[in-house]
Amino acid sequence: MLSIKNLNVGIAEKQILKDFNLEIKPGEIHAIMGPNGTGKSTLASTLAGKEDYEVLSGEVTFNGKNLLEMSADERAREGVFLAFQYPVEIPGVSTTNFMKAAVNAKRKHQGLEPMDAKDFLKLMREKMALVEMNKEFTSRSVNEGFSGGEKKRNEIFQMAMLEPTLCLLDETDSGLDIDALRIVANGVNKLRDDKRSFLVITHYQRLLNYIVPDYVHVMYGGKIVKSGGKELALKLEEQGYDWIKEENSELV
Amino acid sequence: MSLAENISKQFAEVSNSNVVELRKNAFTAFEKLGIPSSRHEEWKYTNIKTKLNEQLSLTPVDSQVNAAVKNYIASLPPYSFRIIFLNGVFHPELSIVPDTKGLTVCSLREAFGSHTTLVEKHFGKLINYNEEHFAALNTAFVNDGVFIHVQKNVTVNEPIYVQYFFTASDINAFTQTRSLAIVEEGASIQIAEDFRNASNINVQYNHVSEVFVGKNASIDIVKLQLEVSNAIGIHTLESQVERDGKFSAATVTFSSPNTGTGSAIIRNNVTARLIGENSHADLNGLYFGKENAHIDNHILVDHVAPNCTSNQLYKGVLSGDSTGVFNGKIFVKPDAQKTNAFQSSKALLLSNDASINSKPQLEIFADDVKCSHGAAVGQLDENALFYLRARGITKEEATQILTYAFAHEVIDHIHSKPIRQFLCDKLKDELKVNF
């Protein structure tokens, strides 16, 4: 489903990702861990199509298509979803209107008519229940005045609405207390199926207790330096990243 | 006919001698002032002198109701009150004015006769014809307009919709219209003034409104300038607010695509004078400039009495090679202690050739006041654009949605629900937003 080969990415003249390689198959959950500043968020932003990041070389294939040739919105309509580390506040646009525009953009892409109002509201209600979101959020402006936890729940709610095939979770656990973390993780788990894949970026093993990954990768110096199963995350939790840094001191 | 002949012809039609005297004085003042050039500080960014036709014709010309007028009237929401003018001439057959207790709505011409004392007491009292070029010209030459009087403690819930159409075929016509609204103690009313070019030529007009807000009274005025291409429109709105009174004015300007080679210039002079303690003024504006449109908002809030509050929120969206001007004055007079005045001007520039001249001007002569102002000019927030695009919304649609959100804040401030809804739909149309 997603194949990243020798990807090199820079921002403002500085190279961040260096010969990055990753293969994700349908239904898999991959976790990416690693110390600050190793390129985890750059990877998520690059895959989502943020234009500030410059792809220097390499290939990214998504469901057989060249992802790097698509604009950010095209990628989203094709089924890539980025849950933002810092969701953006959009004053003046209600969550309902925002989602209506997004859902219908995707439907148009699939050659479908816009969803009728009644079906749309039903879908909203159903997906909001998934992340225990209150009905009042739908009429409020997107993320405006939301707490950190509410913003992250809203990301998962949007993910549920848009039914992507590749979900990129960029530090979704940051700024969450334990209850919010549980709600967000439950939402993600309910969206798991054999076709939908996840790339979960996190600093901490804590999130992986709830969203159990198939693979754990450690990033350092712009590339994956170690891969393993979920037990790798436990080792990192116990021993920290120092041993990774020592083993790979030549990378930075 | 010369200007002097013109004015004497009109004097003959007005029976009240005091008003004749006022008009004479205004004309003398205008003769001294003339049409301002861009050397005049208040007209620095709006060069009106070279844009107005030299052979101005101030005689009102009535004309037939054309298809554009009929279609537009048919498209209006079912307002209970509807007052229609064509080229400055009142058309009772197109207007609807239901009898309402405590409320008078009629043409100014009629009011000169039927409410002589009231009109004489208020007409021309808020304008400074010795300094305001176009208010002086308007006072001298005005033909007609609307008169609104709300008696003590009367609340009018339906908006009074006043529509000024321009249909003349005379390229030199410079239509002078005028409205006078008096809202007595404890009364409240909403008024919309809509200006529309329903001809296929360039039109020129000069409108003056005087608004008296009594003690604890409230008035909401919305000025609609929804198709300002091929027009030179000069608007002056002067208000005076007594103790505990509330004055709210919103100016909404849209420029539609220019159909000819003419100028599209709109100048708004809006003044709120807070003369009674604990009174409040809310002045808001939204403007969309396209192509060569030039939209100039000159705002003045004059805090004369203590404990008053005022808010100014102006937002512009400029594309093509359009220009915007914002000049926001706040005067705080020596007695106006505990004033709380706020001003904000924001403009989105959607093209490289669009520009805005923004000038806040605060003159404070009291020492215990809160005044703040902010001006921002820029593009849409890149992070917000990316956020929408990351949900599959195209760049074009994301731009429209964010522009809608930016502009909608001003419309949100309009109290009259039918007018707010009307503008909301207009905004969605304009930005092709379909939610």
Same domain, B276 and B396: no
Best residue in A73, A116, A141 for a mutation probing chain B (most B CBs within 10 Å) = A73
Same domain, B357 and B409: no
Question: What pLDDT sits at residue B15?
Answer: 44
Same domain, B288 and B433: no
Same domain, B334 and B409: no
Per-residue b or e along B170-187, where b marks 16 or more CB atoms closer than 10 Å to that residue's CB = beebbbbbbbbbbbbbbb
Question: What pLDDT sits at residue A138?
Answer: 86
The type of residue at B375 is A
- Per-residue pLDDT band for A214 (boundaries 50, 70, 90) equals very high
pLDDT at B6 over 70: no
A2-11 and A14-24 beta bridge pairing: antiparallel
Q: What is the ipTM of this complex?
A: 0.96
User: What SS3 class is residue B388?
Assistant: helix
| DSSP string covering B318-342 | E-TT-EEEEEEEEEE-TT-TT-EEE
* Domain final residue pick, B379, B394, B422: B379
A72/B386 CB distance under 8 A: yes
Question: What does the block give as tokens for A75?
Answer: 């990628």
Question: What does the block give as tokens for A158?
Answer: 């949007």
Question: What does the block give as tokens for B165?
Answer: 């159409």
B389 contacts chain A (CB < 8 A): yes
Question: What pLDDT sits at residue B57?
Answer: 80
B394/A105 CB distance under 8 A: yes
List Cα–Cα distances, A111 to A103, A165, B152, B155, B303, in angstroms.
Answer: 12, 18, 61, 53, 59
pLDDT at B274 over 90: yes
* Residues of chain B positioned with their CB less than 8 A from the CB of A73: 389-395, 398
Question: What does the block give as tokens for A14?
Answer: 């500085």
pLDDT one-digit tens code per residue, A179-194? 889 998 999 999 999 9
pLDDT one-digit tens code per residue, A6-33? 999 999 889 999 999 999 999 999 999 9
pLDDT at A174 over 80: yes
- Per-residue pLDDT band for B259 (boundaries 50, 70, 90) equals low
| DSSP string covering B24-70 | HHHHHHHHHH-S--TTSGGGTT---TTTS-SS-B-S-------HHHH
Strands in B218-227's sheet, in edge-to-edge order, are B89-90, B81-86, B160-166, B188-197, B218-227, B246-254, B280-289, B309-318, B340-349, B370-378
Same domain, B350 and B420: no
B404 contacts chain A (CB < 8 A): yes
List Cα–Cα distances, A165 to A192, A198, B134, B390, in angstroms.
Answer: 10, 8, 64, 14
A72/B409 CB distance under 8 A: no
Gap between the Cα atoms of B83 and A234, Å rounded: 77
pLDDT at B7 over 70: no
- Per-residue pLDDT band for B55 (boundaries 50, 70, 90) equals confident
Q: Where are the beta strands (DSSP E) in B138-258?
A: 144-150, 160-166, 174-183, 188-197, 203-213, 218-227, 231-241, 246-254
Q: Smallest Cβ distance to B390: which of A72, A91, A100?
A: A72
Q: Smallest Cβ distance to A101: which of B387, B401, B408?
A: B401
Same domain, B370 and B386: no
Contact indicator for B182, B151 with CB cutoff of 8 Å: no
Q: Which domain holds residue B425?
A: 382-435
Gap between the Cα atoms of B398 and B387, Å rounded: 9
* Domain final residue pick, B379, B403, B425: B379
φ, ψ dihedrals at B264, nearest 5°: -125, 95
From the centroid of its chain, how far is CA A35? 18
What mean pLDDT comes out for the span B188-197? 95
H/E stretch holding B372 reads strand B370-378
B386 contacts chain A (CB < 8 A): yes
pLDDT one-digit tens code per residue, A145-160? 999 989 999 999 999 9
Q: Smallest Cβ distance to B384: which of A48, A82, A88?
A: A88
User: What SS3 class is residue B292?
Assistant: coil
pLDDT at A251 over 70: yes
pLDDT at A241 over 70: yes
* Residues of chain A positioned with their CB less than 8 A from the CB of B409: 91-92
Contact indicator for B128, B186 with CB cutoff of 8 Å: no
Exposed, middle or buried by CB within 10 Å (0-12, 13-18, 19+), for A217? buried
Gap between the Cα atoms of B382 and B395, Å rounded: 11
Same domain, B167 and B232: yes
What mean pLDDT comes out for the span B32-61? 84
User: What SS3 class is residue B276?
Assistant: coil
A-to-B residue pairs, Cβ atoms closer than 8 angstroms:
78
B391/A102 CB distance under 8 A: yes
Exposed, middle or buried by CB within 10 Å (0-12, 13-18, 19+), for B320? middle
pLDDT at A76 over 60: yes
A93/B402 CB distance under 8 A: yes
φ, ψ dihedrals at B269, nearest 5°: -110, 115
Same domain, B325 and B435: no
Question: What pLDDT sits at residue B261?
Answer: 64
| Interface residue ranges in chain A relative to chain B, Cβ cutoff 8 Å | 48-51, 71-73, 76-77, 81-82, 84, 87-88, 90-93, 96-98, 100-102, 105-106, 109, 141, 158, 162
pLDDT one-digit tens code per residue, B158-179? 999 999 999 877 888 899 999 9
List Cα–Cα distances, B246 to A205, B276, B277, in angstroms.
Answer: 59, 10, 11
pLDDT at B1 over 60: no
Same domain, B104 and B245: yes
Q: Which residues 6+ apart lie within 8 Å of B182 measured at CB?
A: B118, B122, B148, B149, B150, B212, B214
For B412, the closest chain A residue by CA position comes to A92
Q: Smallest Cβ distance to A102: which of B393, B404, B408?
A: B393
- Helix H, strand E, coil C: the string for B90-151 is ECHHHCECCCECCEEEEEHHHHHHHCHHHHHHHCCCCCCCCCCHHHHHHHHHCCEEEEEEEC
- Per-residue pLDDT band for A238 (boundaries 50, 70, 90) equals confident
B36-45, B79-88, B260-269: which has the minimum mean pLDDT? B260-269
Gap between the Cα atoms of B289 and B322, Å rounded: 5
pLDDT one-digit tens code per residue, B116-149? 999 999 999 999 999 999 999 999 888 899 999 9
Average pLDDT score, chain B: 90
* Domain final residue pick, B343, B358, B379: B379
Q: A44: distance to nearest CA of chain B, Å?
A: 12
A88-97, A232-241, B185-194: which has the minimum mean pLDDT? A232-241
pLDDT one-digit tens code per residue, B98-110? 999 999 999 999 9
Residue whose C-alpha is closest to residue B405's, from A54, A95, A105? A95
pLDDT one-digit tens code per residue, A95-140? 999 999 999 999 999 999 999 999 999 999 999 998 888 888 888 9
Same domain, B99 and B245: yes
pLDDT at B392 over 60: yes
Contact indicator for A38, A220 with CB cutoff of 8 Å: yes
Question: What pLDDT sits at residue B127?
Answer: 95
Gap between the Cα atoms of A36 and A252, Å rounded: 13
The residue to which tokens 């990129």 are assigned: A168
A76/B394 CB distance under 8 A: no
Same domain, B206 and B236: yes
User: What SS3 class is residue B202?
Assistant: coil
Q: B223: distance to nearest CA of chain A, Å?
A: 23
Q: Count structural domains, chain B.
A: 2
Residue A38, by phi and psi: left (phi above 0), alpha (psi -120 to 50) or beta? Answer: alpha
**HSE-up of residue B71 (Cα within 13 Å, Cβ side):** 7
Question: What does the block give as tokens for A99?
Answer: 């989602």
Gap between the Cα atoms of A17 and B130, Å rounded: 70
CB atoms within 10 A of CB B277: 16
What mean pLDDT comes out for the span B58-77? 85
Contact indicator for B174, B52 with CB cutoff of 8 Å: yes
- Helix H, strand E, coil C: the string for chain A is CEEEEEEEEEECCEEEEEEEEEEECCCCEEEEECCCCCCHHHHHHHHHCCCCCEEEEEEEEECCEEHHHCCHHHHHHHCEEEECCCCCCEEEEEHHHHHHHHHHHHHHHCCCCCCCHHHHHHHHHHHHHHCCCCHHHHCCEECCCCCHHHHHHHHHHHHHHHCCCEEEEECCCCCCCHHHHHHHHHHHHHHCCCCCEEEEECCCCHHHHHCCCCEEEEEECCEEEEEECHHHHHHHHHHCCHHHHHHCHHHC
The residue to which tokens 């309910």 are assigned: A190
Contact indicator for B401, B433 with CB cutoff of 8 Å: yes
Q: What Rg, from alpha-carbon coordinates, does chain A have? A: 18
List Cα–Cα distances, A222 to A2, A40, A55, in angstroms.
Answer: 18, 8, 13
Gap between the Cα atoms of A164 and B127, Å rounded: 63
Gap between the Cα atoms of B134 and A219, Å rounded: 70
The whole-model pTM stands at 0.88
Same domain, B278 and B426: no
